[in-house]
Amino acid sequence: MSTQLFAKTSTEINLFQGYPSFDELTRDEAETIQVSLLSPCGRFMALATADAVQIFTGMEFSNRLLRVALKDVYDMQFSPSGNFLSTWERPSIAEPDHKNVKIWDLNVETPPEVPRYAYQAKVQSGWVLQFSKLDNFALKQFGKEIRIVKLDGEESTFNFDKPYSKLVPEQPISSFLISPAEFPTICTFSPEKSGKPAVLSIYAIAEGVTDKKIASKTFFKADSCQLKWNQQGNAVLCVAITDFDSSNKSYYGENTLYLLSFQGVNGALGGKSVRVPLSKEGPIHDFTWSPTSRQFGVIYGYMPATITFFDLRGNVVHSLPEQPKNTMLFSPSGRYILIAGFGNLQGSVEVLDRHDKFNCISKFDAANTSVCKWSPGGEFILTATTSPRLRVDNGLKIWHVSGTLCFVKEYKELLKIDWRHKVSQNLEKSHVIAKNEDPASDNFSDPKLGKIEVKIHPSVLEYNAKRQKNGSSDGAKDKPTGAYRPPHARRAGGAASVPGAAVKPSQRVIPGMAPPPGAVPGVAKESKAAAKNKKKRESKKKETTPDATQPDADSQAANQPRVNKEASPEEKKIRSLLKKLRAIESLKQKLAAGESLEDTQLLKIQTEDKVCKELEFLGWKNEDAQ
């Protein structure tokens, strides 16, 4: 089966066959669907309507496997191997004991319409059970402890009253995550509380009581965290987050990155915990593991951000120049790395080759992207604009790793988009697999770039023609963006921001001096006192020279120093002294009006004679003294 694409709108569901044909299959019942979901293994598609949940299977999801009558299902979740489906219904007010979470077993020939397990979860966050990679363990938190049940056969039950193992940490935990390994371990996080530091620990699952710590790390400044395991399940990254930033530099609190790792099965060869050294202050925008599980990348710091790659010991492997990026995605084999700036950034995308010293092999622009994913084979990149993140320009684009745009599909309202992972050949005839078989374990290899001839779908030509007609274009060509500037500095001086142009500070006219080059006469606002003095000077000149209607231009030019493009030190000094003189005049008027002044303001008035002498020494003449 070729790679497929799944797209959902408010009126239909589309399934595309993938490169190069992109044939489309449309379903009609999408207008009543509230939730849609593809299983990680690619075998199932779950659709939830207002009164039922349906499971479809097959090459084109044409075979309905199961239909159960469930009302108001607003969330669903597949287990990693796709053997179980969890559904969350809206809690019923009429039934206080309503078990609104149900687990359905899909790994049988005819799945029963009765759930394997049901429990109550009133809150939609954190409601789902955690399953191991092969669906042979299920975890659920009960108060301060975590209970683990083992699912080793069709007759096994989710009996959390008699669990396979119990984990009771020393401090109450706020989050935990099971590793994606064949012999799974559990990472727990206990936040900082009552002067006690936060604790991050890795436990090995054991029958009876799980209390063996493989690795542990204690630290402060941690109210919550984000956990990410690598694919081998022998290392975990933790971003510790505080609710507030003590330095008042960020609205999003402080971020610190920690790395816990171990060697051998269940840490038989020892564990290690380190704080990842980040060389720049600021938030952590993204962090992700390489599929090889030997390296990870971090994007951090105030914009422009720093991009650094580390090894399993927390040592720096490679760093990229600072640039406005906030997204990092490794290809399925780990050879190519996508770095991009989405959200409030411009949407520029770069693809790096890990085997060629992180050199950039392609660039393209994908503005307003809300979804970005690699294809399961690592040859194509999906970028899409979806609603309700953005309600305009909804659509999807398929890019080749070389930067060529291969397929475009525009929508009035696109709600969801995803790749359908490749289904193994032995699953094409039947959806049932063994418990110890991983359906998503196909090894994909990224293409080697050389002389590539990529077939472009006709939709791209239509899209480019439409864009050119509207006066815009889209593609892999770079745009002259210039140096990065933060948003608050892009309209300095009241002028529109021009990429690559220097920002000029606003200019003002100083009374008593010639206007600076480029300044518009009359734009600078004069104070009331300066306007009054100007009026007095004009009336005095009329009395002394009744025959002259205007002052002599030559004499005025002699009394006023000209400001060249680069002002001399004497002219800069005169400007500074004139500014002090205007401030003293304003304080004298306040004192005459009966206002009370501070001691420093009174001392400033006493320096008027000194300022005037310095101005005379520099060649400036007071017009009022004439």
Give the DSSP letter string of 281-296. -S-EEEEEE-TTSSEE
Tokens of 294: 């030997």
- The rounded mean pLDDT for the chain is 77
- At residue 441, does pLDDT exceed 60? no
What CA–CA distance (Å, rounded) separates 595 from 51?
76
Rounded Cα distance, 264 and 183, in Å: 11
Residue-level pLDDT at 559: 46
Q: Do 395 and 384 form a contact (C-beta atoms < 8 A)?
A: yes
Q: Do 299 and 285 touch, CB atoms closer than 8 A?
A: yes
Question: What's the N-to-C CA distance of the chain in angstroms?
Answer: 96
* CA dist., res. 597 & res. 97, Å (int): 73
Cβ atoms of 221 and 207 closer than 8 Å: no
Compute the distance between CA of residue 3 and CA of residue 5 in angstroms, rounded to an integer.
7
Mean pLDDT, rounded, for 573-588: 86
Instruction: Give the C-alpha separation, 486 to 464, whole Å.
Output: 31
Of 586, 564, 565, 577, which is closest to residue 619 (Cα–Cα)? 577
Please name the residues in contact with 352: beta carbons below 8 A apart, sequence gap of 6 or more.
Answer: 336, 337, 338, 339, 358, 359, 360, 361
Pairing of strands 145-150, 137-142: antiparallel
* Alpha-carbon gap, residue 382 to 407, rounded angstroms: 10
Q: Is the pLDDT of residue 122 over 70?
A: yes
Query: What digits encode the pLDDT tens for the residues 411-434?
Result: 888 888 888 876 654 455 556 665
pLDDT for residue 592? 84
In this model, does residue 525 exceed pLDDT 60? no
**Diameter of the chain by CA atoms?**
116
- Point out the least confidently predicted range of 139-148, 170-179, 461-470: 461-470
Beta 13-16 vs 4-9: how paired, if at all?
Answer: antiparallel
Helices H / strands E in the chain, number of each? 6, 37
Q: Place 2 in a pLDDT band, splitting at 50, 70 and 90.
A: low
Q: What is the pLDDT of residues 59-116, one digit of tens each?
A: 878 888 888 888 888 889 999 888 889 998 888 888 878 888 888 888 777 777 888 8
Q: Summarize the confidence of residues 577-590 as an average pLDDT.
A: 87
- Specify which residues 130 forms β-bridges with: 139
Please give the pLDDT value at position 211: 82
- Report the C-alpha gap between 410 and 513 in whole angstroms: 60
Pairing of strands 33-38, 24-27: unpaired
CA nearest to 65, candidates 84, 80, 46: 46
Q: Is the pLDDT of residue 49 over 50?
A: yes
Structure tokens at 369: 């992207």
Q: Higher confidence at residue 464 or residue 621?
A: 464
- pLDDT at position 333 is 85
Mean pLDDT of 368-376: 88
For 548, half-sphere exposure in the C-beta direction (CA atoms, 13 angstrom radius) is 12
Length of the chain, please? 626
pLDDT reported for residue 587: 87
User: Per residue in 381-390, pLDDT tens?
Assistant: 889 988 888 8
Using the predicted structure, report yes or no on whether residue 474 has a pLDDT greater than 70: no
pLDDT at residue 427, rounded to an integer: 53
Q: Which domains are seen in the chain, by residue range?
A: 324-422+454-480 (2.40.128), 557-626 (no CATH)
Judge whether residue 13 has pLDDT over 50.
yes
Q: Is the pLDDT of residue 528 over 60?
A: no
Main-chain dihedrals φ then ψ at residue 459, nearest 5 degrees: -65, -30
| Interval 394-408 mean pLDDT | 87
Q: What is the distance between the alpha carbons of residues 113 and 64, in angstroms, rounded to a whole number?
A: 13
Backbone angles phi, psi at 544, to 5 degrees: -75, -30
pLDDT tens for residues 196-218? 888 888 888 888 888 888 888 88
- Phi and psi angles of residue 328, each rounded to the nearest 5 degrees, phi first: -135, 130
Give how far the C-alpha of residue 529 lies from the chain's centroid of Cα atoms, to the nearest Å.
53
In this structure, how many other beta carbons lie within 10 angstroms of the beta carbon of residue 610? 11
Q: Is 133 exposed, middle or buried (0-12, 13-18, 19+ CB in 10 A)?
A: buried
- What distance in Å separates the CA atoms of residue 408 and residue 392, rounded to the nearest whole number? 16
Whether residue 172 contacts residue 144, with contact meaning beta carbons closer than 8 Å, is answered with yes
- Virtual CA dihedral for 614, 620, 624, 626, nearest 10 degrees? 110
Nearest to 220 by CA among 187, 252, 254: 254
Residue indicated by tokens 């209970």: 147
Angle at 305 between CA 300 and CA 307, to 5 degrees: 65
pLDDT at 402 over 80: yes
pLDDT band at 493 (very low <50, low <70, confident <90, very high): very low
Kindly tell me if the per-residue pLDDT of 498 is higher than 50: no
Tens digits of residue pLDDT in 550-570: 444 444 444 444 444 456 677
Which residues are CB-neighbours of 499 under 8 A, at least 6 positions away? 479, 480, 481, 482
* Closest of 270, 348, 358 to residue 307, by C-alpha: 358
pLDDT of residue 499: 39
Instruction: Give the helix/strand (H/E) hosting 399.
Output: strand 395-400
Strand 45-49 and strand 213-219: the pairing is unpaired
pLDDT of residue 339: 92
Omega of the bond leading into 180 within 30 degrees of 0 (cis): no
Report the pLDDT value the prediction gives residue 309, as an integer from 0 to 100. Answer: 92
Q: How far apart are CA 163 and CA 145, in angstroms?
A: 12
Overall average pLDDT of the 296-301 stretch: 91
Best mean pLDDT range from 6-15, 31-40, 301-310: 301-310
CB atoms within 10 A of CB 504: 10
- 144 Cβ neighbours under 8 A, 6+ residues apart: 168, 169, 172, 173
pLDDT at 19 over 70: yes
pLDDT (tens digit, 9 = 90+) per residue, 228-282?
A: 999 888 899 998 888 776 666 666 678 888 999 888 777 777 788 888 888 888 8
Strand-pairing partners, residue 339, are 328, 350
**Closest to 329 in 3D by CA, of 314, 312, 350, 315:** 350
Q: Name the percent of the chain lying above pLDDT 90.
A: 4
Backbone angles phi, psi at 571, to 5 degrees: -65, -40
Q: What is the mean pLDDT of residues 578-605?
A: 85
Are 423 and 4 in contact by the 8 Å Cβ rule? The answer is no
